[in-house]
Structure 1
Amino acid sequence: MIKIVILGGGNIAYHLTSQLLKNKTARVVQVYNRSIEKIQYLDDKTSITDKLTELKDADIYIIAVTDDAISSVSSELNFKNKLVVHTSGSVAIDELKSNSNKGVFYLLQSFSKEQKIDLFQVPICIEASTEKDLELLEVLAKSISKKYYKINSKQRKSLHVAAVFVNNFVNHLYYIGNEICEENKIPFNILQPLIQETANKIEALSPFEAQTGPAKRNDVKTIKKHKAMLAHNQHEIYTLLTKSITKTYGKKL
């Protein structure tokens, strides 16, 4: 049984802790957070603390805090022959400042406490400073998800940028679409089947093959009509994306 201490009380820590408390391969022996109130709900499930000096003995210490806090928190974890990992997509493994063994356990998903997530479907990217620790993380990853990948820090940074494009930026476009609907008294959920079909399509086609719309077919007349309807910020984003699409497919407006 792999003994685990989780450090953090945010979205990732919440989902990871919830999953590991039901895990047969690993056991959460403690959860740390600097604000004890935020993890009080775990008091009857495992040990909790707000003091780094009172951390229990474990095989893996998982730091699930903000990127800016990883260095300072890890510098307090100097456990000989123990593995300290972080869960960030954009922070390199060598930014861990502990004198312990180092690793990364990055769950590639967008997490919100209010939204249930099946971690079995979430890709996990692992990295470690030694082969032995990589094997340990592999065992842990297999117990949580059916998808895990050995990804180094350089690859993970690139993956994180790609994730921002396909998740954060796309969600902002949903927001703009919702704005346009609200301004014209149209229910946003009328677009949901289209959103779902767009996501489903790339399971069978590459994003390049799946592209449709006025920019791809160089429909200048429609594009001009759209631009005339949009507010300044919407107009800028529409123009930038239209130029990118037309350039991708070798067409000029």
Structure 2
Amino acid sequence: MIKVIILGAGNVAFHLTTNLLKNIEVKLVQVYNRDITKIQYLKNQTSITNNLTDLKEADIYIISIPDNAISNFSSKLELKNKLVVHTSGCTAMNELQSNSNKGVFYLVQSFSKERKVDFSKIPICIEAETDKDFKLLKKLAKSISNNNYSINSKQRESLHIAAVFVNNFVNHLYYIGNQICEENKISFEILKPLILETANKITSLDPINAQTGPAMRNDTKTIEKHTTKLTVNQQEIYTLLTKSITKTYGKKL
């Protein structure tokens, strides 16, 4: 059985903790967080602490905190000959500053505490300094998900950039679409089947073949009509994306 300690209490740490508590191949021996009130709900399920000197023995120590805090936080860990990993998509493995063995355990998913996720479908990207540690991380990953990948730090940074485009930026466009609906007293619910179909379409088509819309058709009349209805900020985003689409498909406005 793999012994694991989670360091952090954010969205990723919360969901990972929830999963590992139910995982029969893993023993979650402890959860650390600087603000212990955020992990008090776990006190009857596993050991909790807000003191790094009180960390228990484990096979893997998973740092799941904001990216910009990983380097400094890891430098405070005295875990020689132990495996310490982080869950960041855009932080290189060598930014871990502890005197331990180093690795990465990156879950490619958007996490919100209010929504349950199916861990069996989440891609997990792993990296380690040694073959022994890689095999251990792979064993942990397999106990959680059916989708596991060996990804180095350079690849993971590019993957994280791609994830920002397909997740964070797309969600912001949902927000703008919702704004436009609210301003015109239209229910955003009308657009949800379209959103789902667009997402489902790329399970069978490459994105390049799934594109539709006025920019794809070079429908300048519709494009001009749209821009007159938008705020300055919305116009900038609409125009930038329209130009990118028309350039992709070799058409000029």
TM-score strictly above 0.5 = yes
The one-letter code of the counterpart of 1:196 is L
**Secondary structure at the counterpart of residue 208 of structure 1:** helix
Q: Distance in 1 between matches of 2:75 and 2:105?
A: 18
Size of the alignment, in residue pairs?
A: 253
Residue type of the partner of 1:45? Q
Which residue identity lines up with residue 97 of structure 2 in the other structure?
Answer: K
Structure 1 regions of 5+ residues with no counterpart? none
1:15 is aligned to 15
Identity %: 71
Partner of residue 211, structure 1: 211
Partner of residue 86, structure 1: 86
**What residue is the counterpart of 2:224 in the other structure?**
224
Shift of 1:144: 0.2
Q: Map of 1:103-182 to 2, 5 A cutoff?
A: 103-182=103-182
Q: Alignment RMSD, CA only?
A: 0.5
Q: Secondary structure at the residue paired with 1:21?
A: helix
Query: Using the alignment, how far apart are the partners of 2:96 and 2:141 within structure 1?
Result: 20
Output the TM-score relative to the length of structure 2: 0.99
AA of the residue aligned to 2:80? K
Aligned to 1:24: 24
Distance 1:55 1:141 in 2: 23
Q: How far apart, CA to CA, are the structure 2 residues paired with 1:227 and 1:198?
A: 23
Kindly state the Cα deviation for residue 76 of structure 1 after the two structures are TM-superposed: 1.8
**Paired letter, 2:103:** G
Match of 1:249 in 2: 249
User: Structure 1 length normalisation: TM-score?
Assistant: 0.99
**Aligned equivalents of 1:150, 1:241: Cα separation in 2:** 33
CA distance in 1 between partners of 2:249 and 2:78 (Å): 53
Distance 1:27 1:67 in 2: 26
Displaced runs of 4 or more, over 3 A: none
Paired with 1:148 and 1:99, the residues of 2 have a C-alpha distance of 27
Structure 2 CA distance for aligned equivalents of residues 27 and 189 of structure 1: 43
Measured in 2, the distance between the counterparts of 1:250 and 1:194 equals 26
Match of 1:238 in 2: 238
Structure-2 residue corresponding to 1:56: 56
What amino acid does structure 1 have at the position aligned with 2:146? K
1-structure distance, mates of 2:24, 2:125 = 21
Opposite residue 114 of structure 2, the aligned amino acid is: E
Shift of 1:75: 1.0
SS in 1 for 2:216: coil
